[in-house]
Amino acid sequence: MSVQTKPQTEPPALALTDVRSGYEQATVLRGVSLRVPPSSVVALLGANGAGKTTLLKTIAGFIEASDGKIAMEGVPLTGLKPHVRRRRGLCYIPEGRGIFRSLSVRENLALQAPSGNERRAVELAVEAFPALASRMSQLAGTLSGGEQQMLAMAQAYVVQPRVLLVDEASLGLAPKIVDAIFEFLVSVNQRGTAVLLVDQFVSRALQLASYAYVLRQGEIVHAGPAAEIDESDIVEQYLGDGTGQQG
Ligand X SMILES: Nc1ncnc2c1ncn2[C@@H]1O[C@H](COP(=O)(O)OP(=O)(O)OP(=O)(O)O)[C@@H](O)[C@H]1O
- Footprint on this chain of ligand X (rule: CB under 6 A): 23, 25-26, 28, 46, 48-54
**Residue 244 CB coordination number (10 Å):** 20
Alpha helices in the chain, H assignment, sequence order: 52-60, 82-87, 105-112, 118-128, 145-158, 175-190, 202-208, 231-234
Catalogue the long-range contacts made by 112-117 (C-beta closer than 8 Å, 24 or more residues apart): 112/154, 112/155, 112/158, 112/159, 113/158, 113/159, 114/159, 117/158
Residue 193 touches which of ligand X, Mg ion, none (Cβ within 5-8 Å per kind): none
Nearer to Mg ion, 121 or 202 (CB): 202
| Choice between 122 and 165, CB closer to Mg ion | 165
Minimum CB distance to ligand X smaller for 74 or for 172: 172
Least distance from Mg ion to the Cβ atom of residue 123, Å: 32
The phi, psi pair for 171, rounded to 5°, reads -60, 125
Phi, psi of 166 (to 5 degrees): -125, 125
Q: Of the candidates 21, 53, 108, 149, which one interacts with Mg ion according to CB under 5 A? A: 53
Q: Closest distance between Mg ion and the C-beta of residue 54, in Å?
A: 8
Residue 23 interacts with, from Mg ion, ligand X, none (CB under 5-8 Å by kind): ligand X
CB neighbours of 228 closer than 8 A, spacing ≥ 6? Answer: none
Q: Using N-to-C axis directions, what is the helix angle for 145-158 and 105-112, rounded to 10°? A: 30
Q: Annotate each residue in 71-110 with x if it binds Mg ion (CB under 5 A) or - if it does not, as one string.
A: ----------------------------------------
Residue closer to Mg ion by CB (options 57, 85) is: 57
Nearer to ligand X, 51 or 146 (CB): 51
**Residues lying near Mg ion in the complex (CB under 5 A):** 52-53
